[in-house]
Amino acid sequence: MRFPVLILCLWSACAGVLADDASSSVSSYPAGFFARLQPYSAFDMLAVLPGFTFSEVDADVRGFAGAGGNVLIDGVRPASKQETLETILRRIPANTVERIELIRPGTPGIDMQGRALLANVVRVRGAETRGSAEAGVGMFERGYDAPRVAGELSRQSGTRRLELSAALFREWDDEHGVGGRPRVAPDGALLRDVGYRQYEGSKVAELGAGYDLALGGDGRLRVNGAWRRERFHADIQEMQRWPDPGEEFGAEFEDARNGELGLHYERPLGERLALEVFGIRRDTDEDNGESSAEGDDYSLFRERLRAAESVLRTTLRGSGGRWTLEGGLEAALNTLDSRTALTENGLDVPLPTARVRVEERRAEAVLAATWRIGPAWTLEAGSRFERSELSQSGDHRLAKSFFYPKPRALLSWTPTADDRLRLLIEREVGQLDFGDFASSASLSDGTVTAGNPDLEPDRTWRAELAWERHFMQGAGALVLALRHEQIEDLVDRLPVGSGAEIFDAVGNIGAGRRDELEVGIDLPLDRFGIADGLFKLNALWRRSRATDPATGLQRRISEDEPFEASAHFSQQLPFRGSRWGVDVTFASEETEYQFDRIQTDRLGTRLDLFAELRPRDGWTLRLDVKNLTDRAARRTREIHDGLRGSTPLDYTDIRTLRIGPYVELVARKTFGG
């Protein structure tokens, strides 16, 4: 109880300092700014917001801090981690948006949660009923289809708002399909020629509801619930053509049920203080596995997961004049129960850490202040203090406790109305994936991953220097960012066990470092003769280094992509609100270093086209032609007969899959205001 009392005392002491002459750190874009592009939803509006790159909710991060995306709705983060931000934003029709604000550090009453930039979607208030219904289908080669039906309804009446949504759809993973999987010797000789087929798809059902109302004077309460069920299945077929004909069949399957109940309450406590409370309960129930059959041999791996997350977060915030003070507490209880089993021809195969229960009790306190030094300078500084107790039972019993301070300082400088520079220094502590405590198996890859009870979270010191430049009366933007990270106890892959019983596992491998250069460009094309055209580019170059525990040599951090980039072009046409565009996702590559193999996944460049037409008021037709380049998804595995660095390369397995171009057609009908 001492921490809240300390916060209140600090506010009382600083009450005389807080005044009402705060300089603005908000850029406002009214609905008219987006009108010429005739967006369908709030998500479409954010896609053309200058200098802004959308960041999704990370549901895998436990708790609220760091899990929320970079979008607010009416000044508040959605109290949901199950529904994606994109889903929520696509439910908000563009004609119900009054304006979108770009918010930077130093804005009174806003918890940036470590973000350098937030977008706030401000909706029109009024007593209206609005909604939409949509139906669509995706059509793939070889007769695969992906139907979709969805709808949403909202009712605003005074200070109350009710929102309902539902969706039922099928989707296919376009990084899998048909191809080959040859195996070659170190000298390049063909050892095995195999045709390969792997189609992966899911059937998904979603329900969502939210209710907003005034409560406790000037307070507002929002309660939301969500439910989702996803049934995943993959059919795998290997057809060996050489040296001996043969077939092997496999399947991967998962049935996941997720439920969530969340609440958000905010209330002013006088002129300069505000209270904000978040609460959430999430339950996940998964049954998944994999089977493999070749001749008379049959293998089956099964996993059953039960996970729960309960979080309560309370924040007090005081703002005014040159100062904003914030303090809060977050308490969380997270649990995971996992059971895994592997059988071969009906006989049980022992797995390390096959039965696991993990329980985490975590508390985090935060104390932060923002000082608007002058019209051009803002300093945000503070720290989070995390304490957690982690216990594991089952095949292994273990109890650990951690305490980590996470300081952060952000200095912003606005030398001109169009230029902003920021310098960020912070310490970040990673979260352990509870799934890494349990064993798993991949029959298609022929690997067993051991659970590791000795995992500890990695700690990262990060420094970032960024420059944001706006031009063309604010319609264009250039963002450059440089980052450097020093990582302690890096979480990567390492061998566990000894002798013939060596397994791959996720573990701490020592120190690591990472450097990044990020570039973002928003360029209106009217001055270049393309009326109502827009070009966007986002690119990220990344270089990382760590010491490989299998070889002792320096290498890239597992799953770090050296280059990520995407480009977007769109143009509004005068005919019936029509619009067309091109999206390019450039080739990417990531590598994972296991104890006996190096696995590299490469995706080729992908080209998508889209066209939209509004034949009548309230109707929108959209046609997407995707993957026109029929990009290859290539997985290369360099397999050693034992520990890398101690044994020579045995063979290389190369799997290349393509799904082909495909088409999606969607019709939407909106009604209401």
User: DSSP character for 396?
Assistant: S
User: DSSP character for 629?
Assistant: T
583, 608 in Cβ contact below 8 A? yes
Structure tokens at 134: 């949509």
- Give pLDDT, residue 449: 66
Residue 100, φ and ψ in degrees, nearest 5 = -125, 130
What contacts 315, CB < 8 A, 6 or more positions away?
111, 275, 276, 277, 326, 327, 328, 366
User: DSSP character for 142?
Assistant: G
What contacts 137, CB < 8 A, 6 or more positions away?
145, 146, 147, 148, 664, 665
- b (16+ CB within 10 A) / e for 301-333: bbbebebbbebbbbbbbbbbbbbbbbbbbbebe
Q: Cα dihedral sign for 51, 57, 62, 65? A: positive
Whether pTM exceeds 0.75: yes
Considering only CA atoms, which of 138, 148, 154 is closest in space to residue 74?
154
> Partners of 581 in the beta sheet?
570, 610
What contacts 15, CB < 8 A, 6 or more positions away?
272
R_g over Cα of the chain: 26
CA angle, corner 192, sides to 187 and 194, nearest 5?
Answer: 135
Structure tokens at 289: 């596995």
Cα–Cα distance, 73 to 121 (Å, whole number): 5
Are β-strands 563-572 and 459-471 bridged in parallel, bridged antiparallel, or unpaired?
Answer: unpaired
- Give pLDDT, residue 431: 83
DSSP-derived 3-state class of residue 87: helix
Residue 288, φ and ψ in degrees, nearest 5 = -140, 165
CA atoms within a 13 Å half-sphere pointing along the CA-CB vector of 191: 12
CA angle, corner 310, sides to 432 and 5, nearest 5?
Answer: 100
Considering only CA atoms, which of 94, 98, 117, 93 is closest in space to residue 106?
117
Instruction: Locate the DSSP E strands across 489-562.
Output: 491-498, 501-508, 512-524, 533-547, 554-555
Cα–Cα distance, 392 to 398 (Å, whole number): 5
User: DSSP character for 37?
Assistant: T
- Give pLDDT, residue 107: 73
Q: Residue 495 sits in a domain of what CATH number? A: 2.40.170.20
What contacts 451, CB < 8 A, 6 or more positions away?
352, 353, 354, 356, 396, 436, 437, 438, 439, 505
Cα–Cα distance, 566 to 669 (Å, whole number): 30
Cα–Cα distance, 496 to 62 (Å, whole number): 27
DSSP-derived 3-state class of residue 32: helix
Domain count, the chain: 1
145, 172 in Cβ contact below 8 A? no
Q: Amino acid identity of 148?
A: R
Helices and strands per DSSP (H, E), number in the chain = 4, 38
- Give pLDDT, residue 156: 84
Considering only CA atoms, which of 265, 437, 269 is closest in space to residue 352?
437
Structural domain for 509, as ranges: 2-671
Q: Split the chain (673 residues) into runs of 10 and give each run's mean pLDDT.
A: 39 35 68 81 87 76 67 80 77 85 77 79 81 94 93 86 93 96 96 96 94 89 93 96 94 96 91 91 95 92 94 90 89 93 90 84 93 90 93 82 93 92 93 72 64 84 95 91 97 81 86 97 93 93 96 96 96 85 97 94 97 89 96 96 91 97 94 75
Give the Å distances, CA to CA, from 382 to 8, 365, 367, 405, 408.
16, 11, 6, 10, 6
CA angle, corner 255, sides to 251 and 259, nearest 5?
Answer: 160
By the 10 Å C-beta count (0-12 exposed, 13-18 middle, 19+ buried), 477 is classed as buried
- Cβ count within 10 A of residue 181: 22
- Give pLDDT, residue 108: 67
